[in-house]
Amino acid sequence: MKYVVVFYVMVGSVLALDNGLALTPPMGWLTWQRFRCITDCKKYPDECISETLIKRTADKMISDGYLAAGYNYVGIDDCWMEHDRDQEGRLVANGTRFPNGMKHIGDYLHNKGLKFFLYQDYGNKTCAGYPGVLGHEKTDIDSFVSWGVDYIKLDGCNVEVSKMDSGYPEFGKMMNESGRPMVYSCSWPAYQDKPDYESIQEHCNLWRNADDIQDSWSSLTSIMDWFAARPELASYAGPGHWNDPDMLLIGNFGLSVDQARVQMAVWSVLAAPLMMSVDLDTIRDEFKQILLNSKVIEVDQDELGKQGMRVWNKSKCEIWTRELSAGFAVAFVSRRDDGAPYTLRVTFEDMKIPKQNYIVQELFDQENIRNIRSDDERFETRVNPSGVKFYKFVPGQNNEIKRSAEVIYFLE
């Protein structure tokens, strides 16, 4: 770790990014989707944006296995500040809800093996009206360093869009020069009609592409459609720089279990950051199992870092395919609402995978391991309405499945 920090300081002022961070899509938890800007702790003591919420969530991430599964960032989104800076122009955490300040939060998370994720805004105010960084960039970065922040999400409210193309890179350069490695999440392209993705890729570790996700199936599918219509965005994703379709809705109010599996599968095909935003104290077991599914997480975190895309769309069903370091991930998504599972029979060409022998594992543990041969004409699966079947196709030489310990070990 010491070597990485030294290297970071040496090259930070020369290279725009290259900070050695986010080599796989970041994973963690963020306040916004579930807890928004709830600040009345008397009325909503278990939901307000506060030190108490962050600490109890951090504790649950450890005790319930989320950290062990890879979710290592704990994020505070908007509404953590006082409405005014101090006399020296520095940001101040809300004194009632964060009585011990932000450094205390950073220390608490680090002592538990977690990392500190914090929200700010490039404008003069955040989206919720709290102080933004504009005009205070260096001062605020110094504060982030002193608090031990590991990840900055920089939103784009209350600033001229024309300033973003120079302002976001300059802020990132200051972050690099600070000497502290911090993941840089930009909301830059979400506010522009024609984003310069080459520049965004160069200057940010990840970036929000479009509108905020809302807690509903219609919002989820609209974001899926947005990405499906822009397959060229996949070329900008890779180790250290990722498209971000926004937070996971899983475990909240708007998605069924089947629909939650759809989001987890499609986000993994998209090589998306996996940021939970849910009350971990009240989440139901069936949703928790989706978030902790190690086979799906392995797809999302695949070291090749190649983003997948939608490759087939017929009969209100879709195929989303991603090339992996060893094989392919293929998600069969139903957008049907006719009340019965739908049978799909598709070709290698439909799935956009090479025609060869594969050992096939269904990743939500709904089917036994099976295989497909290069001379098979069709691959068949049956998908629930607004549901998914998610498979990993691993190239194999056997014509028949052998359920030996060796094969099972290889697949898992």
Residues with catalytic function: 155, 212
Q: Tell me the two tokens of residue 262.
A: 């759809």
Q: Which amino acid is at 326?
A: A
Q: Tell me the two tokens of residue 294.
A: 């190690």
Taking alpha carbons only, the member of 11, 29, 30, 31 closest to residue 19 is 11
Buried b (16+ CB within 10 A) or exposed e, 325-351: eebbbbbbbbbbeeeeebebebebebb
- Secondary structure (DSSP) of 141-205: HHHHHHHT--EEEEE--SS-GGGHHHHHHHHHHHHHHTSS--EEEE-GGGG-SS--HHHHHHH-S
Taking alpha carbons only, the member of 60, 38, 57 closest to residue 49 is 38
Cβ of 312: how many Cβ atoms within 10 Å? 18
Pairing of strands 317-324, 309-314: antiparallel
Paired with 358 in beta bridges are 372, 395
3-state secondary structure 188-207: HHHHCCCCCHHHHHHHCCEE
Contact 115, 148 (CB under 8 A): no
Contact 312, 298 (CB under 8 A): no
- 291/260 Cα distance (integer angstroms): 9
C-alpha count within 13 angstroms, C-beta hemisphere, residue 121: 22
**Tokens 């920090």, residue?**
5
- Could you give phi then psi for residue 328, rounded to 5 degrees? -140, 145
Taking alpha carbons only, the member of 329, 352, 323 closest to residue 237 is 323
- 272/42 Cα distance (integer angstroms): 36
